[in-house]
Amino acid sequence: MVKLSLSYEMRIPDFGPPGEALYEAALDQCEWADGLGFDSVTLSEHHASPDGYMPSPLIMASAVGARTKRMRISISLILLPFYHPHRLAEDAAVCDLICGGRLDLMFGAGYREEEFDMYGLDLHERGRTMKEGIEFLKLAWTGEPFEWQGRTVHVLPRPAQRPRPKIILGGASPASARRAARIADGYAPIAPRLYEIYLEELTKLGKPLPEGGDPGVGGSTIVAVSDDPERTWASIERNLMHDAVVYAGWTGGRKGAMFAQVQTSEELKASGQYVVLTPEECLEKGQGGGYLRFRPLVGGIDPAIAWESLQLFADKVLPKLEVEAPSAG
């Protein structure tokens, strides 16, 4: 069986549709996908991005929660150092209530100096900030008063999930793997080796190992489904190149990074970062199980193109797939 998911970063480049059109389309697509049995939607976060990359995923998650009934709503990642922990605990609790307990939270420490500079924070303090922030959330979501830095704190309302939402850490370094083993309920790294370090650290700490494998492994990420992939690629290439170039700039384009530096359309296709499939190719991938992950608006793709792709999937691929229902969390 296969699980279906959507993913949104909400870039608004200056050469594409306006932001209000992209956000309206994202919410409409989530409602549409929810009705078709999609398992989840993932929302991302970054700051200080000239193209408006989504800086407020909890607000977006609340909007999605109000428009859907079944799918899980995942934020990957919440960049915890940029939040006051008390306000984060409150906002996440209200969001989870709006979502009916369907909110999944993954936290990260951040890596872009521009973001830390914007907030007036020290990048090198992020490890300590993560530890303190996670500790605060665990205490806050009990609904009971607790002592914090010399004062009594009481955070209400509680989230809908009991005893609290799971705290998952993302990461791209061995330090993040060891941190997750110490303070989190789970870990979702960008590379399998990091997950191995996480498991090794859990063993050292005498903690039980999680069931299943690396949560980041398996499945395919799809930009579009098309009867004419070359035509569709040509119509969205500028969006894809924009997304790839900005990401590579953030990560330095270093070897082994998730987004390598590319210069041409051929290099972009060869990188495998963005996939446009025929219905037949999409069906073949879906029949292999795991996840089919769709990024219909990546790089600010025109909603009309995105809808054409999603409808083609619904018409020609979905009826032939065995889709796993959304999980309870």
The structural domains of the chain, with segments of one domain joined by +, span 2-165+218-320
pLDDT for the residue 263: 86
| Residue 325 token pair | 């229902």
Please tell me the distance from the alpha carbon of residue 22 to that of residue 17, in angstroms, as a whole number.
Answer: 7
CB 259 within 8 A of CB 235: no
pLDDT for the residue 254: 47
List the chain residues with pLDDT less than 50. Answer: 217, 254-256
Residue among 145, 143, 184, 182 nearest 163 (CA): 143
Model-wide pTM > 0.85 = yes
pLDDT for the residue 255: 43
Please tell me the distance from the alpha carbon of residue 49 to that of residue 221, in angstroms, as a whole number.
Answer: 23
CB 41 within 8 A of CB 73: yes
| Residue 277 token pair | 């499939």
Please tell me the distance from the alpha carbon of residue 208 to that of residue 225, in angstroms, as a whole number.
Answer: 41
pLDDT for the residue 325: 79
CATH topology of domain 2-165+218-320: TIM Barrel (3.20.20)
Please tell me the distance from the alpha carbon of residue 302 to that of residue 304, in angstroms, as a whole number.
Answer: 5
pLDDT for the residue 292: 95
pLDDT for the residue 235: 97
Please tell me the distance from the alpha carbon of residue 45 to that of residue 10, in angstroms, as a whole number.
Answer: 9
pLDDT for the residue 215: 61
pLDDT for the residue 329: 63
